[in-house]
A and B are shown apart, each in its own frame.
Chain A
Amino acid sequence: MRFRETRWPIEPVAVLWMAVGWLGFAVLPWYGIEDGFFGFSWLFDGYPSDSEFAPALVLALKGEKLWLAPLGLLLVVPLLLWGRTKSDPVFSRLLIIVSAAGFGWLLFQGFAIGLRGWQFGWLTSLFGELGDRQFGMGYGALLVSGAFLFLFTLGVAARGAVSGDVFVVGSIGFVVAMVAIFIFMPILMMLANAMQTDDGGYSPVAFLAKLFSSRLWSLACLAGGSRCGVAWNSLLLAVLVGLLTMFLGLVFALVVTRTGFRHGKLLRALTVLPIITPAFVIGLAIILLFGLSGAVTQSVAGAFGLQPTRWVYGLPGLLIAQVLAFTPIAFLVLMGVVEGVSPSMEEASQTLRASRWQTFWTVSLPLMRPGLANAFLLGFIESMADFGNPLVLSGNYDVLSTEIFFAIVGAQNDAALAAILALVLLAFTLGAFYAQRFWIGRRSYTTVTGKGDAGVHPRLPAGLTYALYVIAGLWTAFTVLVYTVIFYGSFVKLWGVDQSLTLEHYRKAFSVGWNEFGIHWSGSAWSSFWTTMEITLISAPLTAGIGLLTAYLLVRQNFRGKNAFEFATMLSFAIPGTVIGVSYIIAFNVPPIELTGTGIILVLSFIFRNMPVGVRAGVASMSQIDRSLDESSLTLGANSWQTFRRVILPLLRSAMLAALVYSFVRAMTAISAVIFLVSARYDLSTSYIVGRVENNEYGIAIAYSTVLIVVMLMVIGLMQLLVGSRNIGRRGIQQGDGGWSVRTNVSLPGTAGGPTTIAGAG
């Protein structure tokens, strides 16, 4: 790429963003539009003069909403830079001041003036009643705030930050703004909400009373009472699930990598299933097997002459369902780690005459620590956040995630209580996160050094091998049984009563009819199905995009505050979906950002919930690409954007696919966050299925899930076809060419070791 040497009288990037800003200020409607911007009906309904659809400029000229007018003035000021170069100190100073003022004012007016005029008491006392109000911001406001943001980063870059790279500084600014608005702001607003009392005041006393209520923390069950507090219930369950999934994941990983087991592919395929199954469907199958009238319970009770009980409702059932659902994740995490442990260490141990047992216990296992910790943490967080299984299986064993839900939707409608419960949940997951970092410590687990490493892993002790086979075999058989039940259940007329085969459930959910207005999707599942496809297919590429961009910044750029930046981008990983859901409702139900009831809020929740995985996948593959590639691109005159687009991105195909597939699958199966965010217009498959399960319409729920599983497999195949695989010479591609090595890239922020930090030594 050649640079044009003609000098512009003013920096072209600044002109570009000013133009964008003016487009937002003077052309697009400032406020959000009821019927949706892209319906374009606003164009014919009195635009631009109608106050509802008017751009800010028109509003200002009409003398309405005068608080918007300063924004327009601030957008003109950068023209003062006429004739100044980027290196001129006045250039950067002016841009920074103007854009910071603009952005700040935009936010301030948004928060200060809401649906009922002034939002803050002190403003009312200062200026009296406003007598006017405003709705949520729309595309006009979006463009203006974007313009201010990028003018600001341009100013910062002009001061010489990150070697004055406009693209990099802009990207950092963009990611930081996004994370601040869509992760930090909702959490902080939730915190504020937790302190609120019924009548709208703030009371720390009420907050503490709710926080330390016996309903949450009672230990009565230890002293022979009936129930323990909800918090303890959740904690106990999550710890057990974390430990069990870690253990089973390790067993499977060892079986596949260390025992000469030949059907590893088959086992991998089996692990895919629970990942793409909507979680509560497993819970349902558990009921059908182990419920009071479940097949297993009945036959066991019949065989031994016992009275069948409802034993499965509560901790046992939850444990079975969650371990079943989350073991694959632990397996995929541990696979990478177990494979990555260098044989040389183990060989050294054996040369020093350690027995196979000693080698396994004292060398191999400790080297897997980071993987074990990650696996535990994932199981722990998933269990804490799991909503679907407790909904059908918890019986009277209440856990935090469902309690949060019913604090909001129950007749008592106590949003403050929900926020407090969500905080407790968040404290647990963040606590576990730090505990695992502490446990791993600062020791080095690096065994992949890039030096010659031709050894072969030693065989495991024979006894251990057999034990592993037995455990893995039993668990596999159990998984197969559960899925048989799921599949079979979708064709049975009335489970437990009428076992005759039928297609009725599929017909009910997916029938298509015809009427005078055209095709009529009369099946009850269609509406939520199309919405789900639309939302997930929109959010998956966006998630992958922002994830890879962040990864590029983390791996390839150095800037101040990088650690804090990394933590912020990874934070949402430790936040359970239920918490995200609650905080999004609290933050985005009222202006300035008014998103509840739209599809956008679903897309956003998916993006920011799944972004960390995109980041981790990107970091992992980018670490393997030598910097000299970027450098040669830069030396040849390309700028950092071109380098990113033309050199790095094509080499990142596997990471891209991983991020795409993961975010797609997560969006399709997510329930904990979206259950709060779905609306009549945008109902998602999972929340629809939960509704059916709640009403014991098991047939439809299972049939729908089966369809979803098939659709997911198809879409994943299609994604693979579209993204393609990177072609790096004649070398075989070692990692990430199949969709399902995806999870091995899951690692947590800052954890030493794990597959992601295996650095390619040039």
Chain B
Amino acid sequence: MIKRAILGAGILAAGMWAASSSASAESLTMYCGVDEVWCQQTARAFEEKTGITVNMTRKSAGEIYAQLRAEAANPKADIWWGGTGDPHLQASEEGLTVEYKSPLLNQLQPWAIKQAETSGYRTVGIYSGALGFGYNKDLLAKNNLPEPKCWADLIKPEYKGHIQVANPNSSGTAYNMLATIVQLFGEDKGFEYMKALHKNVNQYTKSGSAPIKAAGLGETTIGIVFIHDAVSQVVAGFPIVPVTPCEGTGYEIGSESIIKGARNLEAAKKFYDWALEADVQSMAQKAGSFQVPSNKAAKTSDKAPDLSTIKLIDYDFKKYGSSEERKRLLKKWDEEVASLPQ
């Protein structure tokens, strides 16, 4: 009898739980392409502001793009927020996202608006960050290595086995680096550079920011990442020194897009506008993210890298963001670089 009672109570509880979980009315499904903490903070803040339940999955930009393509016939998500701009542009090029002009567009930095124009208003910049690298100063000292200052330093033989970078096949960050090197040195010399770098790389990670986190933990000396990722490691207390390469460097424009066939289009638009507001963008630093916000009025941390002091190349987002060019470069990298012995 007692067992029955327990069972009954269990079923009742399960039923009530199911009922309460299905009770919430409006919801928004979001694919989030930035760091977990920031994703969570943003999702929860939007929930608290609007009462709309946010179902959020964090994935790297490449994974999200792949998923959108796989789900194209039957999209599951409403909004794609964050993550490097290239896959956003690719998605807009393939018609996976919808055109939407936010009323807040005029409050944004010129590069964010340019990003929107390039895509035919299917995506918009929400933050930007420059590419660079960071090193673990303890490990560097321990190994008696000179401080790396330029891209050219990284291919010196003394750094053999000390550098980590993500695999461009799975990470938007690493693809951005590949494209930057190609634009900086020209394609032939660029690939020569990648081959030389390959000899020094100890591991190609799957996610873009993993190398600098490994450096923070002392699992590698140098990690090639976006500088804001290196800055957050510094803020977290790791012995990391961020470096902006002397030759100049590429950058990303983190973007957001509304997914075509979104089931909660209204909520998606609400989120889209909300995410462009100045005070929302100012919250990023609380989550340990130090990108440059796209809203002119948003506050930046003093630790954030100042884009105006960094030598930025004229990154051709249209060309290097296109599927075709991307596929070609990745294939070439796979064949000519990744297959080489280290």
A residues with CB within 8 A of B: 34, 36, 38-39, 115-116, 225-227, 287, 291-293, 310, 313, 391, 395-396, 402, 406, 408-413, 415, 494-498, 515-517, 520, 522, 524, 527, 530, 534, 537, 585, 589-590, 594, 596-597, 678-681, 683, 691-692, 694-698, 721-722, 724
Partner of B341, one of A225, A410, A585, A679: A225
Partner of B204, one of A396, A683, A691: A396
Please state if A292 and B206 are interface contacts (CB–CB under 8 Å).
no
Q: Is the interface of B mostly helix, strand, loop or mixed?
A: mixed
Chain A residue nearest in CB terms to B10: A722
Please state if A596 and B71 are interface contacts (CB–CB under 8 Å).
yes
Please state if B236 and A694 are interface contacts (CB–CB under 8 Å).
no
Contact residues in B for A495 (Cβ distance below 8 Å): 217
Task: Verify if B147 is at the interface (C-beta below 8 Å from A).
Answer: no
Please state if B238 and A396 are interface contacts (CB–CB under 8 Å).
no
Contact residues in A for B59 (Cβ distance below 8 Å): 409
Partner of B71, one of A589, A691, A722: A589
Q: A226-B341, A406-B169, A409-B170 are in contact. Are A310 and B202 (CB under 8 A)?
A: yes
Please state if A287 and B74 are interface contacts (CB–CB under 8 Å).
no
Q: A291-B219, A680-B77, A696-B210 are in contact. Are A411 and B237 (CB under 8 A)?
A: no
Task: Verify if B31 is at the interface (C-beta below 8 Å from A).
Answer: yes
Tell me, rounded to whole Å, the shortest Cβ–Cβ distance linking B324 to chain A: 13
Tell me, rounded to whole Å, the shortest Cβ–Cβ distance linking A300 to chain B: 15
Chain B residue nearest in CB terms to A313: B203
Tell me, rounded to whole Å, the shortest Cβ–Cβ distance linking A45 to chain B: 13
Please state if B238 and A494 are interface contacts (CB–CB under 8 Å).
yes
Contact residues in B for A412 (Cβ distance below 8 Å): 169, 327, 330
Cα distance A669–B329 in the bound complex, in angstroms: 38
Cα distance A498–B51 in the bound complex, in angstroms: 38
Task: Verify if B1 is at the interface (C-beta below 8 Å from A).
Answer: no
Tell me, rounded to whole Å, the shortest Cβ–Cβ distance linking A504 to chain B: 12
Task: Verify if B29 is at the interface (C-beta below 8 Å from A).
Answer: yes
Stretch at the interface among B60-68, B127-135, B152-160: B60-68
B residues with CB within 8 A of A: 3, 6-7, 10, 14, 17-18, 21-22, 29-31, 35-37, 40, 44, 47-48, 51, 55-60, 62-63, 65-67, 69-71, 73-74, 76-77, 87, 139, 161, 167-170, 172, 175, 202-204, 206-207, 209-210, 213-214, 216-220, 236-239, 263, 326-327, 330, 340-342
Q: A411-B62, A680-B55, A694-B207 are in contact. Are A494 and B236 (CB under 8 A)?
A: yes
Cα distance A524–B220 in the bound complex, in angstroms: 28
Please indicate which of the listed interface residues B167, B202, B209 has the most CB atoms of chain A within 10 Å of its own CB.
B202
Please state if B220 and A292 are interface contacts (CB–CB under 8 Å).
yes
Cα distance A413–B67 in the bound complex, in angstroms: 9
Cα distance A411–B175 in the bound complex, in angstroms: 9
Q: A589-B70, A680-B77 are in contact. Are A691 and B3 (CB under 8 A)?
A: no
Give how many A-B residue pairs fall within 8 Å (CB-CB): 160
Contact residues in B for A680 (Cβ distance below 8 Å): 29-31, 55-57, 76-77
Q: A36-B22, A585-B70, A596-B71 are in contact. Are A695 and B3 (CB under 8 A)?
A: no
Chain A residue nearest in CB terms to B142: A308
Q: A292-B218, A697-B36 are in contact. Are A678 and B67 (CB under 8 A)?
A: no
Please state if A406 and B206 are interface contacts (CB–CB under 8 Å).
yes
Contact residues in B for A413 (Cβ distance below 8 Å): 65-66, 69-70
Partner of A590, one of B57, B58, B73, B77: B73
Contact residues in A for B216 (Cβ distance below 8 Å): 497, 696
Q: Return the 4 tightest CB-CB contacts between A and B, nearest first.
A: A293-B218, A696-B213, A226-B341, A680-B57
Please state if B74 and A410 are interface contacts (CB–CB under 8 Å).
no
Q: A589-B70, A691-B36, A696-B213 are in contact. Are A520 and B48 (CB under 8 A)?
A: yes
Please state if B62 and A410 are interface contacts (CB–CB under 8 Å).
yes
